[in-house]
Amino acid sequence: MKKTASMFFLAMFCGTALAHTGALSKDIERLEENGEYDAVNTSKQITPSTPLKPPVLCLFIPESTNDKVCMFSPLDGSYCGDFIIDDTSSTPQYDLETPINIIQGPDNHFYLSDQISDAVYVFDADYGQYLFTYADSSDGLNNIRGIDFRGDHLFITSGDNYVAEFDGPHSFVRYFIQDGSDPFDILFMEDGTALVSDIQGTTDNVRHYDTSGTLIQELFSVDFPEQIQYYFEYCDTFLNNSFSDAQITTFLLNGSIIDTIPFTSGRGVYRLMNGNLLATNGSGVFEVNPATGSIIEQEYTGSARFIELVVLAAGINEDNNTVGFTVHTSPNPFAKCVDIHFTISGSGIIKATIYSALGEKIVTLFNCHTHPGGHHLTWDGTDNRGQPVSEGVYFLKMKTPEQTITKKVIFVR
């Protein structure tokens, strides 16, 4: 689901990076085994034989003037370069004409919807290289827009008045929603229900659907609503950017409107770590003051679309549990403390360390000889001096002499 990486504040920044055919043209600092950063040659051109080392977290925004996917900082919205560009070769594998929404799938690949090509393309998380076409007009798709995963099923909104559900490449399951609404974006929540923006024309609104695709409630009316996004700081609060009503709406799941912020011809919206909003329209990407609606800075010029947070695979890897060594965290996100449960099949030294999203060591929780079996740790959101850390994304790194597991934990106040 989109929110997997984007529910709450994120403490990182992208830094400047140049585009080069689906890959960044600069290396950045990388996290070594000791948890510190070593400088690398930042003038070296990246090629497929040289591993990318981009930031861990990044905002992706499709741009349909030049048909590409751009990267931006979740901290302040600054432009960081291009990750995917159109295939303009004589025999193109994919054709970007109006890319709308790019999300990270459960396999960590990137899924990109294109409204004019009527296709969802899949790109790898290391270099942004095309892998395959997930669905297209041969599956009945037309005029597609926002997309989201629920589990391993992909849901695709269409101007033909439906939300299509797929359980794999070119494997159509059903129409999840086909009730006369004209869905533009869809956002699934942890309970499996969905928020949908409806631009039907006479009854434009934001809607809440149950797990079976049945309408629960029309939350509020707004003319031509586009992207629906989490507010991040509060799990029950959301944002919507409206094209025709020219406003960003902050609202609750019960339909209560908290605030409206003026923004012309809105498309995408995201709340940055610095507290400002990042919003898109046909002219570009803008950092917006949420109190006044005034433009703080234009970050990019071009026809920008939906905004999504992703975790780039070539940064800090979030490894799966390995044989003989498992790590589980809960609750996650957490407000007071996170419980860390781990099991090992043999005895040995176990080290548990918390790092920031920038790779800075926060605190070592555990570093001693451990017997086989299950064990329990907690982290209360403080650093090695006992001072509370800022809310955001952190990484728990668990090491044995043979294996390392990294888990993402999200701290909220």
The CA R_g of the chain, rounded to the nearest whole Å, is 21
Q: How far apart are CA 408 and CA 356, in angstroms?
A: 10
Average pLDDT over residues 400-409: 81
| Residue positions counted in the chain | 413
Which pLDDT score is estimated for 56?
Answer: 65
Could you report the per-residue pLDDT of 176-218, keeping only the tens digit for each? 999 999 999 999 988 899 999 999 988 899 999 999 999 999 9
pLDDT digits (tens, 9 = 90+) for 121-168: 999 887 788 999 999 999 999 999 999 999 999 999 999 999 999 999
Average of per-residue pLDDT across 48-52: 34
Dihedral sign computed on CA atoms, order 338, 339, 343, 347: positive
CA distance 67 to 184: 20
Which DSSP category does 4 fall into?
G
- How far is residue 154's CA from residue 331's CA, in Å, rounded to a whole number? 26
Q: How far is 112 from 200, CA to CA, in rounded Å? A: 24
Distances (CA, A) of 125 to 61, 62, 304: 15, 16, 21
Residue 412 reports pLDDT greater than 70: yes
Task: Tell me the two tokens of residue 300.
Answer: 């990019």
Q: Which has the minimum average pLDDT: 8-12, 38-42, 239-243, 357-361?
A: 38-42
Question: According to the model, what pLDDT value does residue 107 have?
Answer: 87
Domains and CATH numbers, the chain: 2-311 (2.120.10.30), 325-411 (2.60.40.1930)
Encoded amino acid at 151, one letter: G
Average pLDDT value over all residues in the chain: 83
Q: Where is mean pLDDT largest: 207-216, 233-242, 334-343, 403-412?
A: 207-216
pLDDT at 40: 30
Burial tier of 288 (Cβ tally within 10 Å: 0-12, 13-18, 19+): buried
* 269 compared with 407, residue with greater pLDDT: 269
Please, which residues have CB within 8 angstroms of residue 29's CB and are 6 or more apart in sequence? 37, 38, 39, 40, 53, 359
Task: Dump pLDDT digits (tens) for 374-401.
Answer: 888 999 999 989 999 988 888 898 888 7
